[in-house]
Amino acid sequence: MVDKTLSDLSWDDFDEARDPRSPANDFDAVVDAAISRRGFLGGVLAFGSGATVFGSGLFGSAGTASAAAHAFPFTPIGIATDFEVHVPEGYSWKPLVRWGDPLFSEAKGAYSAENGVSVEMSDKVFGENTDGMELFNIDGREILAINSEYVNPKINLPAASDGVPQSADEVTLLKNLQGVTVLEVADQGNGYEVVVDSPYNRRITHETQMTMDGPAGMSPLGTMNNCGSGTTLWGTYLTCEENFNGYFGATGATEASLEAGYTRYGIGGEGRYAYEKFDPRYDISAEPNEPHRHGWVTEIDPSDPTSAPVKHTALGRFKHENAEMVQAADGRIVVYMGDDERGEFIYKYVSDASWSEGQRTNGLLSNGTLYVAKFYENMTGEWLALTPQTTGMSIEDILIFSRMAGSRVWATTMDRPEWIACNPLKAEGYCALTNNRNRGVKPNAGGDDTSVNGPNPRETNHYGQIVRWTPAGGDHGATDFQWDLYVMAGNPEVYTNEYGGSANINAGNMFNSPDGMAFDSKGMLWIQTDGDDDNAEYFAGMGNNQMLVGNAETGEIVRFMTAPNGSEVTGLTWSSDRKVAFVGVQHPGGSWPDGAGKPRSAVISVWRDDGQTVG
């Protein structure tokens, strides 16, 4: 019998069900160690700019949001607890594309509030649960590539019992509503709208034929659980396969030799969506290697709707959040990537070859070295190369089982690395460490110690933080870096200790669980949240999930947008003229944005009423 609650769980809870905490273990003793470490936190924050500008104390509400608000071209807004979107005065928004909206004429009217969309139309409409996205200007046309991370079966299967698929057709419907949508948008005088039937419009699903390059190449079909995104310097889209493990289940015995890899990646037992009951591809007792074909960074050329996406094995296999590409001083390609699971790692890929505009791009994402981050307590760190020499593993195993390779070199266990963003104005990387209920509580799935450490300084971390690194010599190709915490989220209304947050957190800008991040062209860091929005207890006063803007220099953070209750804000890009921001609202509650029937995840347009740029 299918456990009908599995698809209702958050991905974090799903992971926990796969790897439950033992009733008591040595990690319970870490609380004492954490207390003795608190003196160290002063060092963390003193290194950062936030505390020195705002802090008269290390924690609590020493700073005020208004002190330097003139640096932001809007008046920060308060929290919200309703089922609406709110933006600052002088700004407006409207939906750009909602789950179920047509990409092609034949799908017009395909969506109904009562029935959702049919299986026949499910790959001709915008997918559900919008996530990472990027905009490409191709021959003067505005083309968006947008991830649809996963589905809410109870919303998509109106006639089915409790959101559990009952047929292969229903599985196909759910699969088709995930993946990637490429679509053209245009402003014909009424704000941006989807260009139905544009030759660029395309859906990429679990079934799309792919190729795979790099040392661990295989013949894959499809992409799934596409979370964050990135762009290459040559104008293609990077989509990142995150919680792929949840799609696979076992209906019978599994291969013992693969068990360690399954365990580290949370694969086994019942799948989250029962796909394995109707499609043997998702049944690891029938197709033991299918999970190894997912969990990659996949490149899509939005200019060519007939092109086969390419999975780049050289960038490693894990729960990829996003992929932030920059260039080393000598022209080599650098891609920063986070693995979003409790106690997993931050990675960096560096190409062997250098590149400059106009040169061939072949091999840049298949011939290179994968590194994993080690953060030291003295605020320095280094990127540790994952090679056969350093890990004792074959190059194929390093790439397919990157987590295990990272453990072999004692990489630093992190509080769920989400998006990484690099400052366009100076060599800096930022990673949102969203939260980690298991910090100081139990090891990660590979058995690595997750006691509190420098960039992850709070046990049972409900709030999250953003770590920042500056590569040696201002060169993203360097293997050494210095780090600090840009912000520790927290609640200074509830706590006067480190759970109150760093000094750039106050009652006016509180948030929890930073997740999506992007720098705008002016060097401002936009921060999106995917946290607890019940506005109670630890989270009292934080309201719904939100999007904030951070000043990288001063540390000041102010609130720009609030999203409907129940939703997370994820995915951010801009029109080519920067006058419109496109923002994703995933898994809303209520009946947003239609006001009737089902809630629909959607991308919205946000603009300034005076026509000036938004970032």
Out of Ca ion, ligand FEO, none, which partner does residue 123 contact, by CB within 5 to 8 A per kind? Answer: none
* Nearer CB in complex with Ca ion: 142/530: 530
Rounded-to-integer distance, Cα 395 and Cα 113, Å: 50
Smallest distance, ligand FEO to C-beta of residue 433, A: 11
Strands 211-213 and 226-231: unpaired
Q: How many angstroms separate the most distant Cα atoms in the chain?
A: 64
Rounded-to-integer distance, Cα 582 and Cα 604, Å: 6
Smallest distance, ligand FEO to C-beta of residue 149, A: 5
* Nearer CB in complex with ligand FEO: 171/227: 227
Smallest distance, ligand FEO to C-beta of residue 572, A: 14
Out of Ca ion, ligand FEO, none, which partner does residue 242 contact, by CB within 5 to 8 A per kind? Answer: ligand FEO
Smallest distance, Ca ion to C-beta of residue 132, A: 8
Distances (CA, A) of 119 to 100, 175, 222, 438: 12, 10, 17, 40
* Nearer CB in complex with ligand FEO: 174/250: 174
Tokens 């719904």 correspond to 544
Candidates 227, 466, 604, 614: give the one binding ligand FEO (CB under 6 A): 227
Smallest distance, ligand FEO to C-beta of residue 467, A: 16
Distances (CA, A) of 209 to 397, 541, 545: 24, 47, 36
Out of Ca ion, ligand FEO, none, which partner does residue 415 contact, by CB within 5 to 8 A per kind? Answer: none
Q: Are 502 and 493 in contact (CB under 8 A)?
A: no
Two tokens, residue 30: 């870490």
Q: Are 526 and 517 in contact (CB under 8 A)?
A: yes
Smallest distance, ligand FEO to C-beta of residue 354, A: 32
Rounded-to-integer distance, Cα 317 and Cα 336, Å: 13
572: contact with ligand FEO by CB under 6 A: no
What 3-state class would DSSP assign to 404?
helix
Site for Ca ion in 499-518 (CB under 5 A): 515
**Which window, 292-300, 398-406, 417-425, 536-544, contacts Ca ion (CB under 5 A)?**
417-425
* Nearer CB in complex with ligand FEO: 242/415: 242
**Which window, 57-65, 442-450, 462-470, 525-533, contacts Ca ion (CB under 5 A)?**
525-533
341: contact with ligand FEO by CB under 6 A: no
Two tokens, residue 532: 């607890």
Two tokens, residue 384: 């540790």
Smallest distance, Ca ion to C-beta of residue 230, A: 13
- Residue at 47: amino acid letter: F
* Nearer CB in complex with ligand FEO: 149/279: 149
* Nearer CB in complex with ligand FEO: 49/148: 148
Residues in the interface with ligand FEO (CB under 6 A) total: 6
Tally of CA atoms within 13 A in the half-sphere of 484 that contains its CB: 19
Smallest distance, ligand FEO to C-beta of residue 607, A: 27
Closest CA to 11 of 341, 463, 269: 341
> CB within 8 A of 32, min separation 6: which ones?
none
Smallest distance, ligand FEO to C-beta of residue 515, A: 6
Rounded-to-integer distance, Cα 536 and Cα 422, Å: 33
Out of Ca ion, ligand FEO, none, which partner does residue 170 contact, by CB within 5 to 8 A per kind? Answer: none
For residue 428, list its beta bridge partners: none
Candidates 134, 184, 321, 428: give the one binding ligand FEO (CB under 6 A): 321
- Residue at 147: amino acid letter: N
Smallest distance, ligand FEO to C-beta of residue 242, A: 5
> CB within 8 A of 323, min separation 6: which ones?
228, 229, 230, 238, 240, 297, 315, 335, 336, 337
* Nearer CB in complex with ligand FEO: 341/459: 341
340: contact with ligand FEO by CB under 6 A: yes
Smallest distance, Ca ion to C-beta of residue 499, A: 20
Out of ligand FEO, Ca ion, none, which partner does residue 184 contact, by CB within 5 to 8 A per kind? Answer: none
242: contact with ligand FEO by CB under 6 A: yes
241: contact with ligand FEO by CB under 6 A: no
Q: Are 201 and 195 in contact (CB under 8 A)?
A: yes
530: contact with Ca ion by CB under 5 A: yes
* Nearer CB in complex with ligand FEO: 149/428: 149
What length does the chain have?
A: 615
Out of Ca ion, ligand FEO, none, which partner does residue 276 contact, by CB within 5 to 8 A per kind? Answer: none
149: contact with ligand FEO by CB under 6 A: yes
Element (DSSP H or E) covering residue 406: helix 402-408
* Nearer CB in complex with Ca ion: 320/458: 320
Two tokens, residue 558: 């102010």
Site for ligand FEO in 390-449 (CB under 6 A): 418
Out of ligand FEO, Ca ion, none, which partner does residue 149 contact, by CB within 5 to 8 A per kind? Answer: ligand FEO
Distances (CA, A) of 512 to 9, 60, 174: 19, 15, 30
Q: Are 274 and 353 in contact (CB under 8 A)?
A: no
Question: Dihedral of CA 244/247/248/249: which sign?
Answer: positive
Contact residues toward ligand FEO (CB under 6 A) are 149, 227, 242, 321, 340, 418
Contact residues toward Ca ion (CB under 5 A) are 418, 515, 530
